[in-house]
Amino acid sequence: DGGITQSPKYLFRKEGQNVTLSCEQNLNHDAMYWYRQDPGQGLRLIYYSQIVNDFQKGDIAEGYSVSREKKESFPLTVTSAQKNPTAFYLCASRTGTAVSPLHFGNGTRLTVT
Amino acid sequence: KQEVTQIPAALSVPEGENLVLNCSFTDSAIYNLQWFRQDPGKGLTSLLLIQSSQREQTSGRLNASLDKSSGRSTLYIAASQPGDSATYLCAVEAAGNKLTFGGGTRVLVKP
């Protein structure tokens, strides 16, 4: 059963700690994305990767880091430099073409206190 | 910079009524426009994708239109059902494989 798996579903951290969110896909998709969603707002792009070992900053990359060592995996690290890390984080993927729809995972809700 | 707006932010209709959801965007130089559905606490599910050369797409009770020149798209859901209650988001894609999302319309279909 193909899809995108994000784990964990809920994550709690203390301020000042780095935390890594997992995203794995078995859809054989080339492109992967990380979005952040805040209440009542649309999704904002953090980072995206169109191919293994390559990634680009999105609109709100400050305080975040990613890696793309394998096609299936695109983990996101929320660092202590991110000023407002509490949010709902969504991972997505698609084939490399602009005419293919995005497939999303079920998200990770991060709470930092 | 591309901006995508969805009005209204929330909508409530009785079961059986047709739903009309609006999406507007500021830059008409887009590759495609997508409509998504999001249930509470979940990820997004792609409903329809309209390429820039197309005027509309249909899937079952859903029909989406695209007017690039006016920067508008409309999602029609015929004969709404309580199971259609969700948040609907639109997103436009321009150069660079980047999508810009609207804030969504939260829909409640009352039995």
- Ramachandran region of residue B32, left (φ > 0), alpha (ψ -120 to 50) or beta? beta
Nearest to A32, CA basis, from A46, A42, A20: A46
Six-digit token string for A34: 């990380």
Six-digit token string for A18: 């780095």
pLDDT of residue B1: 85
Residues whose CB falls within 8 Å of the CB of residue A4, separated by 6 or more in sequence, listed in order: A23, A24, A25, A27, A91, A92, A93, A103, A104, A105, B43
pLDDT of residue A98: 65
Whether A6 shows a pLDDT value over 70: the answer reads yes
Whether A1 shows a pLDDT value over 70: the answer reads no
In this complex, the residue of B31, B49, B98 whose CB is nearest that of residue A45 is B98
Is A69 in a helix, a strand, or coil? coil
CA of B110: how far to CAs of A40, B8, B81, B105, in Å? 22, 17, 8, 16
Question: Chain A residues with CB inside 8 Å of B42's CB?
Answer: 106-107
Task: Flag whether residue B76 sits within 8 Å of chain A, measured between CB atoms.
Answer: no
Asked whether A106 and B43 are in contact (CB, 8 A), the reply is yes
Asked whether B109 and B81 are in contact (CB, 8 A), the reply is yes
Mutate to test the interface with A, among B34, B97, B105 (most CBs of A within 10 A): B97
Whether A99 shows a pLDDT value over 90: the answer reads no
In this complex, the residue of A4, A42, A109 whose CB is nearest that of residue B89 is A42
Asked whether A17 and A35 are in contact (CB, 8 A), the reply is no
pLDDT confidence tier of residue A41, bands split at 50, 70 and 90:
confident
pLDDT in tens, B64-103: 999 999 999 999 999 999 999 999 999 999 877 788 999 9
pLDDT in tens, B5-36: 999 999 999 999 999 999 999 999 999 999 99
pLDDT in tens, A81-95: 899 999 999 999 998
Six-digit token string for A41: 């707002």
